[in-house]
Chains A and B, each alone.
Chain A
Amino acid sequence: MNAGAALTLYVMSAVTVAAIVLAVVPLPASARRLPEAIGMAGIIATLAITVTQWGERQVAFSGELRIDRFGLLMTWVIMIAALATLLLGWGEPAAAGRRREFTGLVLAAATGMMLTVMSGDLITLFIGIELLSVSLYILCAMEVARERSLESGLKYLITGSIGTALLVYGFALLYGVTGTTSLAGIATRLDSVGGLASDPLLIASIVLIVVALGFKASAVPFHMWTPDVYEGAPTPVTAFMGTGTKAAAMGAFLLLFTGATSQASGDWRGLIGALAVATMVVGNVGALLQDNVKRMLAWSSIAQAGYLLIGVAVGTTAGAEALIYYLFAYVAMTLAAFAIVILREREVEDGDRLVAMAGYGRVRPWAGVVMTLAMVSLAGFPPFAGFVGKFLLFGSAVDAGMTWLAIVGAVASVISVAYYLRVVIVMWGPPADNRSTVRRLRVPPAVATVAVAGAVAIIGLAIAAQPMLDLCADAARALIIP
C-alpha cells in the first residue's frame, strides 16, 4: 500500500475533523474565522497535492482508492466548488452563529465528493456518495428558523434516501453478477466472460444504478426535489449542490459506465441517452416558467445535467473528455451566477426574485457584466466556455452515431436562450417601480472574488481550451485503464 497516495484524503479528513471540533468548542471572538481559515488552507493544500500527484495511477487501501488523472482532475472541480462555497458563505448573515458547522459540513461533503471520484471500488463509491449526501441534508436545513430551509432539508433527505436505497440494490446486483466490488475487476469480468453483458441481472443492476445516480444528478424524471430544495436551501449551499454534487454524480456516472461497464455499453447507452433527452427538454421548459432566479437556476441545473449526460451516454472517452471540460465550464458559470444572486440577496429582501434584479446592471455594472457573461455562456453563445463545452459534447454525440442527442441538445439550447436572456434583459432594463431606491452595501470582497473569478474562467477556459482539453483527455483515458 502506498501511504502517500492517499495524502489528499488525510488532509481533507483532518481539516474536516478540525473544523467540526472547533464548531463545538468555544472560541474567542478574534478566532471566529478560524474554521473557515483552516478549511480553505486544507482545500488549497489538497489542490497543491493533486498537482504533484498528476501522473500514472497510484492505488491506496488495496485498490479501494485510485489516485489517477481522472480522480485528480475531478477533485479540482470539487475543491474549486468547495472553496467558492466557503467564500460565498463568508459573513453570510443567514448563517450567523452557525458558521462553524457550515464550514465543517461543507468540508465533509467535499471529502465525500473527492472519495466518490477517486474510488476504485463500489464500497468506496457508496461511502463517498453517502458522506456527501448526509452532509448536504444537514446543510440544506441549516437555517432552522426558516421554514423553507427545513422543508428543503427534509425533502432532500427523503428523496435522497430513496436514491441511496436503489444504489445499494444496484451495487448488490452488480456484485452478484460479476463476483467483485472492484471497478477494475468488474471491467475485467465483463471483458473475459462472454454473454455476461446480456445477463438480465446485469441489466437490472444498471437500471437501478442509473435511477439512483439520476436522483443525485437531478436528472428527469428524478428531479422533482431539485427546485424546492435549491430554492429553500441557503444560497451558498445551493451553489455547492449545483456544482459539487453535480460533479461528483457525473464522476460516479463516468466511473461506473464509461469506465467499469463499458463492455456492456449496449445495455445502457440508449437508457442514459433517453434520460439525457428527457432531462434537457423538461429542465429547459421548466426553467421558462420561473420568476425566482434561484429556482430558475435549479431548473437550469437540471437542464445542464442533461447536456452533461450526453457525455456519458455516448460511452466514449471523447464523451468523457467533453463532459469533464463542460463540468469546469459549468462550475464557473454557475458559481458566477450564484455569487451575483447572493450579492443581491444581502442587499434587499427577496433578493433571489427576478424583479429584484431589475436595473441591477445599471447600479453595479461589473455585477451586470458578470451575470451577463454567465447567462450568455450557459445559453451556449460562442465564444465562451459554455459554447466550447456544448460543441464538444454535441460533437462526441455525432461522432458516436447518436446525432439525435445532438439535435435534441441543440433544440433544448434554443429554448434555454429565452430564460437565460430574460435575466440579462431584466438586469439592464429599468428598475422596477417599487425598488427605485436600490440599497447599496459595500460589496463583500469574498463574494466579489468568486464572481470575478468565475467570469474570468468563462473566458479563459474558452481561450485556453486546448491545454484544458489535453488535461481532460488524459483524465478520460485514465478512466478506461483497468
Chain B
Amino acid sequence: MPWVSLLILVPLAAAVVLGVLPARERRAARGVALIGSLATLAISIIVVALFDRDLAVMQQVDHLDWIPAAGVSWDVGVDGISIWLVLLTTVIFTLGTIAACQRLPERRGPAFLGLIMLAQAALLGLFTAGDLILFYVFWEFMLIPFALLIWNWGGDDRRGAGMIFVVYTMAGSLLMLVAIIATALTAMDATGELSFLIRDMQGVAFGEATSTILLAGFLIAFAIKIPLWPFHGWLPRAYSQAPIVVTILLAAVMSKAGVYGLLRIGVPVFPEGIGNLLIPVAILALIGIVYGSLLAWRAPTMRLLVGYSSVAHLGFIVLGIIVIDRMAAQGAVLQMINHGIVAAAAFAVVMMISRGTGTGDMDRLGGLAKGAPRLAVAFLFVTMAALALPGSNAFVGEFFILGGVFDQYAWMAVIAMLGVIYAAVYMLRMYQGTMNGPVRGVQDDGRAAEMGARDAIILVPLILMMVWIALWPGSLVGATRASTDLALAPAQVAEGRPVEQIGVLPARAAATPATDPAERP
C-alpha cells in the first residue's frame, strides 16, 4: 500500500467531505473529522512501524510523474528527519480535532474542521515531499487553510493578523520558488537532466558563490516561517488572534516547517553555501534566543508569552542545525518534536485557563491553583518541560544541541546558555503569576478552569509523550541518526571538519559505520 501517499490523501478526502457538508450537520461533521484524523493517525503509525531505522535515505517512496517535461513529480517518502515529525503532526492534529469538536464554532462548523483537515494534509505533504516543487506546493498551500481559519474565527484583529501572516510568508516563499527553479536549472547544467527531486540535487557541486546565493533564496523563506529574528513580525499577531486550537497547531506543527526545510534542503543541497552563511544565521538564531526570551519575560498575555518563547526555542533548533555537528543536529530533530509537544501542551493550558476565567492577561490572573489543583499539577509538569529541567524531555534535546554547539563554537554555546536561564525566568513567571499568589481572578479562584475529563483527553497524552521521550530519548534519536549524518556530511566535508566528526563520508556512504556521537571522546 502507498501508505505515505494515503497519509496526505486521507485528510484531504476528509476535508472535501467536510467541505460539501451543510453547515447544520455538525454532528456528522464531528464524526467525519474524528474518523479522518484517527485514520490518518493510524496510517502514520503503520508508516512508523514499517520504518527501517538503519536506512539513511528516503524510504517507502511513492513516485508518480506529474509534469515530466518540467521535471516535476509526486514524490513522497519518509526518512529519519521526517518520520517523527509525521507522527507529531498526526498526533497533534488528532488532539486538535478533538479539542475543536468539543467546542465547535457556532457558524459553519464543518468548514472549520474541514480547514483543519486541509492544513493537516498540507503539513504531512510538506514533511514527506521528496520533490522541491511538491515541497513548495505544500509549503504555500498550507497558508490557505491557516489564513482562512484566522480570518473567519480569530479575535478582534483577525483581518490584520491574517493578512500580515499571509503577506510575510508569501514574500519569502515566492522568492524560494525562484530559487527552486534556479537550483534545478543550475543542476541541469551539471547533470544534463531536469529534475526537482531533492535526492538528485544532493551531490551536485554548485560552486561556492552559486551555492550561497541559492541557499540565501531558500533561507529567507525558512527564516520567515521559523520565524528567525528579525523576521518574526507576523508571529505575535497571528498567535494571539488565531482561534486557540489553531494557535496550538501553528506553534506545535507549522513552526517546524522552516527548520525542517533547513535540514531537508538547506544543509544537504547547498553544502558549500552553508559554510558562508553559518555565522550570520547562527548570530540571528542567538539574537532570537535572547530577544525572544526577553519578550516572553515581559509579555502581557499568556499567549504572547508562549509565542515569544517559541521564537527562543526555535532559535535553539536553528543553531543546532546550522553548526553542522552530528550531535547538535540529532538534538535539533529531537527538539523539534519536544517543542511541538511542549508548545501544544502549553497552549492547551492557556486555552483551559482563558476559557475558565475569560481572560489571558497575566495581570488579571492569579491563585488559580487553589480552585484547580489538577490543572496546576499538569501545568507544573508542562512548565518543567518547557524550561528544560534536567530529567525532562526538552533537557535531552537542549543538552544535545548545546553539547554539539560547544564542540564547534564554544562562544555560541555560552550565549545560547542565556536562553536556558531566561526560560526558567519566564516560564516560572507564567506558572507563579497564574497559579500561585493572591486570587486575582475575574470570576472565581480557578474552579471554572479546572481540568475536567474533556481537557484531560488532550493534555494527558501530551504529558505521557513528554515522559516517554524523557525516559527513552534513544528510541527517537536512534531512528534519526543515519539520516542526519547523511544530511550533514557534505557540508562538514566542505567546511573541512575533522574526519572523525563526520558520520558518513559522502563518497562511500554505505561502507562507513556510523558511530554514536555520545560515545565520542
Contact = CB atoms under 8 A, between A and B. Distances in A.
9 contacts: A380-B174, A382-B141, A387-B140, A398-B178, A410-B178, A414-B174, A424-B148, A429-B152, A469-B67
B38 interface: no
Interface string B160-183: 001100110011001101100110
A443 interface: no
B70 A381 contact: no
A428 B181 contact: no
A21 interface: no
A392 interface: yes
A469 B178 contact: no
B57 interface: no
B7 to A, nearest CB: 17
Contacts of B374: none
A403 B68 CA distance: 23
Interface string B54-90: 0000000000011111101000000000000000000
A418 B181 contact: no
Given A387-B137, A391-B133, A465-B66, A410 B143 contact: no
Main secondary structure of the interface of A (DSSP, over half): helix
B442 interface: no
A47 B343 CA distance: 58
A381 B72 CA distance: 16
A425 B182 CA distance: 34
A369 interface: yes
A406 B174 CA distance: 10
Contacts of B68: 466
A78 to B, nearest CB: 25
B143 A381 contact: yes
B69 A466 contact: yes
The 8 closest A-B pairs by CB, nearest first: A410-B174, A382-B137, A465-B67, A414-B170, A383-B137, A395-B181, A414-B171, A406-B178
Nearest to B125: A383
Given A387-B137, A391-B133, A391-B177, A399 B67 contact: no
Interface in A397-437: 398-399, 403, 406-407, 410-411, 413-414, 417-418, 421, 424-425, 428-429
A424 B133 CA distance: 25
B191 to A, nearest CB: 15
Interface in B131-146: 133, 136-138, 140-141, 143-144
A398 B181 contact: yes
A413 B151 contact: no
Q: Is the interface of B mostly helix, strand, loop or mixed?
A: helix
Given A466-B67, A469-B69, A413 B185 contact: no
A399 to B, nearest CB: 6
A362 B111 CA distance: 11
Interface residues of B, number: 36
A298 interface: no
Contacts of A470: 69
A399 B166 CA distance: 29
A381 B144 contact: yes
Contacts of A326: none
B70 A417 contact: no
B137 A406 contact: no
Interface residues of A, number: 34
Contact of B141 (A362, A383, A388, A466): A383
B175 A407 contact: yes
A367 interface: no
A106 interface: no
Contact of A406 (B108, B162, B181): B181
Contact of B67 (A376, A388, A418): A388
Given A392-B70, A466-B68, A418 B163 contact: yes
Contacts of A406: 178, 181
Nearest to A406: B178
A417 B152 contact: no
B496 to A, nearest CB: 31
B19 interface: yes
B32 interface: no
Given A382-B136, A398-B178, A407-B175, A421 B67 contact: no
Residue of A394, A407, A410 contacting most chain B CB atoms (<10 Å): A410
B116 interface: no
Contacts of B185: 395, 398-399
A134 B182 CA distance: 44
Contacts of A376: 144
A115 B42 CA distance: 59
Nearest to A381: B140
Given A382-B137, A413-B174, 6 more contacts: A387-B137, A391-B70, A410-B178, A411-B171, A414-B170, A421-B166
B83 to A, nearest CB: 25
A418 B162 CA distance: 10
A428 B67 contact: no
A395 B175 CA distance: 12
Interface of B: 19, 65-70, 72, 107-108, 133, 136-138, 140-141, 143-144, 147-148, 151-152, 159, 162-163, 166-167, 170-171, 174-175, 177-178, 181-182, 185
Nearest to B138: A382
B182 A398 contact: yes
A418 to B, nearest CB: 6
Contacts of B69: 466, 469-470, 473
A391 B174 contact: no
Nearest to A425: B151
A413 B181 CA distance: 16
A403 B70 contact: no
Given A362-B108, A406-B178, A395 B143 contact: no
B182 A466 contact: no
Contacts of A417: 166-167, 170
B94 to A, nearest CB: 25
Contacts of B72: 465
A381 B141 contact: yes
Contacts of A410: 174-175, 177-178
B231 to A, nearest CB: 14
A156 B181 CA distance: 39
A465 B137 CA distance: 15
Nearest to A401: B185
Contacts of B70: 391-392, 395, 465, 469
A394 B177 contact: yes
Contacts of A382: 136-138, 140-141
Nearest to A463: B66
A336 B171 CA distance: 27
Contacts of B166: 417, 421
A469 B69 CA distance: 8
Contacts of B67: 388, 465-466, 469
A470 B69 CA distance: 8
B474 to A, nearest CB: 38
B449 to A, nearest CB: 30
B141 A407 contact: no
A370 to B, nearest CB: 13
A376 B19 CA distance: 17
Interface in A458-482: 465-466, 469-470, 473
Contacts of A421: 147, 163, 166
A407 B178 CA distance: 7
A230 B159 CA distance: 29
Nearest to B175: A410
Contact of A466 (B19, B65, B174, B178): B65
Contacts of B138: 382
Given A418-B167, A466-B69, A428 B137 contact: no
A362 B147 CA distance: 18
B19 A369 contact: yes
Nearest to B171: A414
Nearest to B68: A466
A429 B177 contact: no
A428 B153 CA distance: 11
Nearest to B22: A365
Nearest to A417: B170
